[in-house]
Chains A and B, each alone.
Chain A
């Protein structure tokens, strides 16, 4: 496994060199944004300066750290993260489980796949008001349910693919060993499905945060990012709204990176194949 990571990112300098263009672009965009807002004298409620967003963010950090004070922004971020994370776990777990069950019987999985693919194209977020009625508008379960449904279908579809698209010779090899179905599942089908599953998890990590925030636009407790953004925007406090958007982005990107990290730890063979090929 030691050899697996020994590619471009071996030395600290190599790693810095590797990420430098990306960082340069990020810094460049933020600088250009700041300069353009100043140069064209754009009204703060239309587009606040990055520096204004940042100072609002630092203000929220100081509130969060100060004893006896509250930062609604950080409370909202926490609440929204848990909705997204809970929905992610339920939806992805359910997707993998259903895939495992249906792939046990080829007929069942072939019969359910068209429905799963169709359901995957449905704008699930349209159910948000219904979930609010079912679970209660302030109950995090209403948002988790939306997130879970959104991530369920891509996870299930990809997992079924990974379990069934197995190399014919590798299956024949198992047959020549007179292997039990359980061994074929555990030693061949599931490892074969892992890359498919993780590519679904990566998509799901981004979808889950989008789902949670958008579901909150339809109503929710005060301390959630979706509600925070709608309220601050309607109060014309755009620096606050943008700070919340920034928090949502940070959570979304971190979530994605964590999934990516777990994938690379779990499947060094796959990450290295992808890098070299």
Chain B
């Protein structure tokens, strides 16, 4: 990668072992080396157990690596978390059901001590961006799953964090809603220029969204290959019928098949 650009995230020789030394020891991540530039859209893809969520959680300081060096914006993940550099979106929208939509978006702003006026303005701006401006006073249970997830994206962006961590955010949505959400997310990325780490197990989603795809394999979780995706932005509905897109999907699928195959081979050796 070109030196002139800012490095948002750099991981060197990261290992993560759960329950070390016990019978339930699991090597979740092994020898992870990854550099992500500021403003990149990175997808982490792999079968279950490949550690893609674990890697995201290490970056977000929800977990700590067993060894290796991890830097976010040149700081430790913990410092970055304390500096409020992370916006997080989970598979479930995790809205607080006792708060209206606007109050949910304002939650991080309240915690971070923003003034009331600014909270309202920012929440409204974020809701407008996810096209839910008219639903500010609604409660979460009055919204569909896709709308709830858009609220949670608005909430993650409300305090203008530099890194957006998304853990299978559209995994629970139907195919049509998911494709609409993908388009909207690209628009938001284009508008805000955030660094996005996007965990998914949908190949088409990963290829459609990101400029680089990190393919991972399970047991132990490793990076198999980092695929550059040179499909031009802006991408739209037609992108999915572009031969280059279809080729890339096929390539990632092959890589994943190999990844699962090698994981299975390791299982065989272990027994």
Q: Are B88 and A269 in contact (CB under 8 A)?
A: no
Q: Are A177 and B94 in contact (CB under 8 A)?
A: no
- Name which of B9-17, B103-111, B248-256, B259-267 contacts chain A: B103-111
Q: Are B62 and A176 in contact (CB under 8 A)?
A: yes
Hey, which chain B residues are within 8 Å of A118, CB to CB?
none
Taking the closest CB of chain A, its distance from the CB of B120, in whole angstroms, is: 17
Q: Is B7 interfacial (CB-CB < 8 Å)?
A: no
Hey, which chain B residues are within 8 Å of A187, CB to CB?
96, 107, 110-111
Taking the closest CB of chain A, its distance from the CB of B87, in whole angstroms, is: 8
Hey, which chain B residues are within 8 Å of A176, CB to CB?
60-62, 81, 86-88
Q: Which of A169, A178, A269 contacts B81 (CB 8 A)?
A: A178
Q: Is B245 interfacial (CB-CB < 8 Å)?
A: no
Hey, which chain B residues are within 8 Å of A174, CB to CB?
111
Give the total number of A-B pairs whose CB atoms are below 8 A apart. Answer: 62
Which positions 1-44 of chain A face chain B at CB distance < 8 Å?
3-4
How many chain B residues sit at the interface, stated as a range, is 20 to 34
Hey, which chain B residues are within 8 Å of A188, CB to CB?
96
Known contacts A176-B88, A178-B82; is A273 also within 8 Å of B62 by CB? no
Known contacts A169-B92, A175-B81, A176-B88; is A269 also within 8 Å of B98 by CB? yes
Q: Is B112 interfacial (CB-CB < 8 Å)?
A: yes
Hey, which chain A residues are within 8 Å of B90, CB to CB?
169, 172-173
Known contacts A178-B81, A272-B141, A273-B141; is A173 also within 8 Å of B62 by CB? no
A contacts with B, residue count (CB < 8 A): 26
Q: Is B178 interfacial (CB-CB < 8 Å)?
A: no
Known contacts A3-B142, A179-B111, A269-B139; is A191 also within 8 Å of B98 by CB? yes
Q: Is B187 interfacial (CB-CB < 8 Å)?
A: no
Nearest residue, chain B, Cβ from A277: B141
Q: Are A177 and B142 in contact (CB under 8 A)?
A: no
Q: Are A178 and B84 in contact (CB under 8 A)?
A: yes
Taking the closest CB of chain B, its distance from the CB of A179, in whole angstroms, is: 5
Measuring CB to CB, which residues of chain B are less than 8 angstroms from any residue of chain A? 60-62, 81-82, 84, 86-88, 90, 92, 94, 96-98, 107-108, 110-112, 138-142, 159
